Structure 1
Amino acid sequence: MNRDFRLLWIGQGLSGLGAEVSSVAYPLLVLATTGSPSRAGLVALVANAPFVVLQLPAGAYVDRWNRRAVMLAADIGRALALGSIAVALALGRLTFAHLLIVAAVEGSLFVLFRLAEGAALRQVVPASRLPSAIALNQARGYGATLAGQPVGGWLFGVAPLFPFAADAVSYLASLVTVAAIRTPLPAPPPTAERHLAREIAEGVRAAWQNRFLRTTALLTTGSDFVINGLFLVFVVIATRHGASSTGVGLMLALGGAGGMLGAVAAPALARRIRSARSVRLVVAGSVWSGVPLIALASLTSQPVRLGLLLGLVLAVWPLYNAVVTARWMTRFPDALMGRVQSAVALLGWAPVPLAPWVGGLLTEHLGGARTVLAFAVLMLAIAVTATVVRHDDPVDRRTVEPASR
């Protein structure tokens, strides 16, 4: 990979590491101060809500603005937001409302950064290398989880403010690497007068009309709901059975290790996935593999076992993402990338912000084991749907050109 991709990859690796460090600290801090799983889920809901609320307008604006400027502004804002938690904890002035506000700000800026980074990826990486770049980005994310979750748990045990201070510093590191990228990252020139609603509709229409993209995004919705709900449920189960903050971090790191191993193998495997039948097998098989593993997780409360099962669940998804994402990204022009990405994210993430909150509520009322079983049943329903529903092979679909405005 070229220099600019390496800079982008390293910077996001550092900021991703910081985000994982603070992500384990959020529920630990809420559980330690309030003892309420539903409140911990509420913080996660607020952090994830921008994935639904802001996706479409953010995608349109990313297609208007300089992509580097968007990423730099997002890094500055996130550094200030996370730093404010560390300062408030040091002064003994942190409130639950403050946590909710920072979670909303960080989640909103993450949406903008993610869309700008995805659009920039098309500019810094040749189309032929996109599957490898996407897999490397996934490996980066899982590697950050592997290292960041136990470090975050350990730092929280030393002092609750440390994970949030570390995350703030990581965003400053990302700021430096993004600024050093040489490739120009301008927004595509407008073809006509700007009209926000029309631009959003164009991106949604382009995404929805692609049957492959539409089908896989909706299947991803259900599986992501299950997996994101399980993260908080596993944390609650482990802490209720005496696990330390370090033990919780280790549990989540084992999940990241499984995902990272899957991401390492994904590029070589993705190159072998060419036929429509192979794509369908990857899509359905990824969902089916999670059903028995999640069911088994209902039988234990031991953090290492929960982490190993989570790692096995996550190990198959990098191949799914590498195959699916690379195939549709090369079928849309740069002028539509921000809006199509936002439409896909909205399709795939619409109910996901509710997952931790639902998981927290179910755990309070049903207990951990029954909640995990409920998620296993939901994953089974998604697997059956993935097997029955057919979709077009995207290889034969032509590039979608933006409509005139």
Structure 2
Amino acid sequence: MTLAPEQLWRNREFNLLWISQSCSDVGNAISALAVPLLVLALTAAPVQAGLVGTLGLITTVLCRLPAGVLADRVDRRRIMLICDAVRLVAYLGLGVAVLRGQATLTLIVGVVLIGAAANAFFGTAEHSSLRTIVRPGQLPDAVARNEARSYATSLAGPPLGGLLFGMGRALPFLGDAVTFLASFAGVWLIRRPLQEPRDTERGGHAAALAEGFRFVFGNPFLRAVLLVAAPLNLAIHGIIFTIIVTLQRDEVPPALIGGVETVVAVGGLLGALAAPALLRRWPLPALIRGICWTAALLMSASAVLIHSVAAAIPMAITVFLGPATNAALFGHQAAITPDRLQGRVISVIIVVATSIAATAPLLAGVLITMWGPPVSVLVFATTMAGAAITATTSRGIRTLHPTDSR
């Protein structure tokens, strides 16, 4: 297999893949704001707007594991091209329907479900492709660049979606279609295969998926990481939700409340930009332990500041450390996982590490109602302290050895 160029910024295939996914991310961020605005404009029902978003998230989770199997059995470039084509047609059709005044709630739900499924398959295939186009030693930097892209598009997409929706309700969805067309073009220009040569695998999809689970839970490092990542995601989402609910109950202006997630996202973006420097200074085990203990302390500080927008600052600092840790983690995962298992292993890690976070709003709501916002924050901080103890004592993390960086 031909190795990637020495400098990541000169790696043609990686840059095409990065630009393609950037376009996809912008489209997703635009629709994330425009879809609920459109539902509200048509129905004036916040519950229905929230339901549409929830159905999209559930669809993404449900499709993630099958996407991992498909990414390991089918040409990954073809998967991404099909996903872009499907999303292009779906959002173009929605934009045209809105333009003609023919958009219905049923149509919107259908487009959201199609888009969510395509996002899961595209993203899994894209993550799985890194190992074939990037040198092992460059994998953490490549993941860090992807983290920066994700935070940047999450900051830029919603304002752009709001601007386009204000100019015309159809414009955000027509804009989505343009971003997916650009993504399709980028993937089409990739020349190098995005997977290593494969032997035909026997057995059904269930057996293939089980192999992915066995690899993840059979590896001491990956198993320990899941025991850390799941409570970390739960705590971050739970505390951010607690802050937003508390500020709303305190009648803080909505513009300031909206700034909470902006501050956190800026922290993540800055962390992604600083990730390469942090990776050069600290090895992965130290990063994992560092973010866990730092997060537990900073989250506790948010309990003191909970009735102020300043409560978002400790969370932004916590999130600042996340991209470097994710870059090192997924870089190491990509290096130690055989290419034929990349899709399944990535999908298993993402589903297990993030699914528990879906309960964060409900759990936070119960804690706020029963004991108040400060206790809610401290409960999540305690959960994070438990994860920090796991990161410190886990043999899988303590005995981790660097992979070959050639």
TM-score range, shorter chain: 0.7 to 0.9
Letter in 2 for 1:332: T
Deviation, 1:317, is 1.3
Which position in structure 2 is the counterpart of 1:402?
Answer: none
Deviation, 1:291, is 1.4
Matches within 5 A, 1:3-402: 3-31=12-40, 37-186=46-195, 188-190=197-199, 192-228=201-237, 230=240, 234=244, 243=254, 252-274=261-283, 276=285, 278-285=286-293, 287-288=295-296, 291-292=299-300, 294-295=302-303, 298-300=306-308, 311-353=316-358, 358=362, 362=365, 376-389=377-390, 390-391=393-394, 392-393=396-397, 395-396=400-401
Deviation, 1:219, is 3.1
Deviation, 1:77, is 1.2
The number of residue pairs the alignment matches comes to 388
Pair 1:313–1:227, CA change in 2 (3 A): same
Deviation, 1:155, is 2.4
Distance in 2 of aligned mates of 1:339 and 1:352: 21
8 Å contact from structure 2 (residues 243, 311) kept in 1:
no
Moved more, 95-104 or 122-131: 95-104
Letter in 2 for 1:381: T
Percent of aligned pairs sharing the same letter: 31
Distance in 1 of aligned mates of 2:24 and 2:284: 37
Distance in 2 of aligned mates of 1:175 and 1:311: 34
Pair 1:60–1:169, CA change in 2 (3 A): same
Distance in 2 of aligned mates of 1:316 and 1:342: 23
Distance in 1 of aligned mates of 2:211 and 2:330: 20
Pair 1:46–1:223, CA change in 2 (3 A): farther
Pair 1:192–1:152, CA change in 2 (3 A): closer
Letter in 1 for 2:212: G
Distance in 2 of aligned mates of 1:175 and 1:136: 20
Moved more, 186-195 or 379-388: 186-195
1:89-131 alpha-carbon deviations (Å, 9 max, x no partner):
2233333333332222211111111111111111111111001
1:132-169 alpha-carbon deviations (Å, 9 max, x no partner):
00001101111112222222222233333322222221
Distance in 1 of aligned mates of 2:91 and 2:298: 34
Distance in 2 of aligned mates of 1:250 and 1:384: 27
Letter in 2 for 1:203: G
1:48-96 alpha-carbon deviations (Å, 9 max, x no partner):
2134322222211110100100011111112222223323322333333
8 Å contact from structure 1 (residues 77, 109) kept in 2:
yes
Q: Return 5+ residue gaps in structure 1 as ranges.
A: 400-405
Pair 1:169–1:298, CA change in 2 (3 A): farther
**TM-score (ref. length: structure 2):** 0.82
Deviation, 1:385, is 1.4
8 Å contact from structure 2 (residues 221, 400) kept in 1:
no
Pair 1:383–1:307, CA change in 2 (3 A): closer
